[in-house]
Amino acid sequence: MLRIHTETSPDGITLRLEGKLVQPWVDEVAKVWTAFEEQGQDTRRIRIDMEDVSFVDGHGKSLLFLFLQAGCQLHGSRVYIRGVIEDLRAPKSPPAEP
């Protein structure tokens, strides 16, 4: 299960995720992302809050990598999520599909 919350403020948009970022929920997050792009949102002003994400599978990591490439800010303070974010920032190519 994954909950997706969007919060809009003068500083930009926060996409807050709660639960596990795994298939099929990755597709749902991608749909929300696509809607932002279609509205012409500046992706550098989108913050992905993963404070309450407990697990990310390979599909989720691939999506997060795309978010990073688009200039989004990824945030999460849990040790696991910080490790995922650090791993995604390190490679020069996207993570392998599962």
Token output for 63: 């999506």
In a domain, 62, yes or no: yes
Answer yes or no: is pLDDT of 98 > 80. no
CA dist 64 to 10, 19, 49, Å?
24, 15, 11
3-state helix, strand, coil in the chain (%, to 5): 40, 35, 25
Locus of tokens 């996409």? 15
CA dist 84 to 8, 55, 62, 67, 80, Å?
25, 9, 11, 13, 6
Q: Tell me, what's the pLDDT at 11? A: 87
Give 78's pLDDT tier (boundaries 50, 70, 90): very high
* Residue span of the structural domain in which 42 resides: 2-89
Q: For the segment 23-70, what is each residue's pLDDT rounded down to a tens digit?
A: 999 999 999 989 988 988 888 899 999 999 999 999 999 999 999 999
CA dist 20 to 53, 54, 59, 83, Å?
6, 6, 11, 15
Q: Tell me, what's the pLDDT at 43? A: 83
Q: Tell me, what's the pLDDT at 97? A: 61
In a domain, 97, yes or no: no
Residue 14 belongs to a domain with what CATH number? 3.30.750.24
How far apart (Å, rounded) are the C-alpha atoms in residues 98 and 28? 18
In a domain, 96, yes or no: no
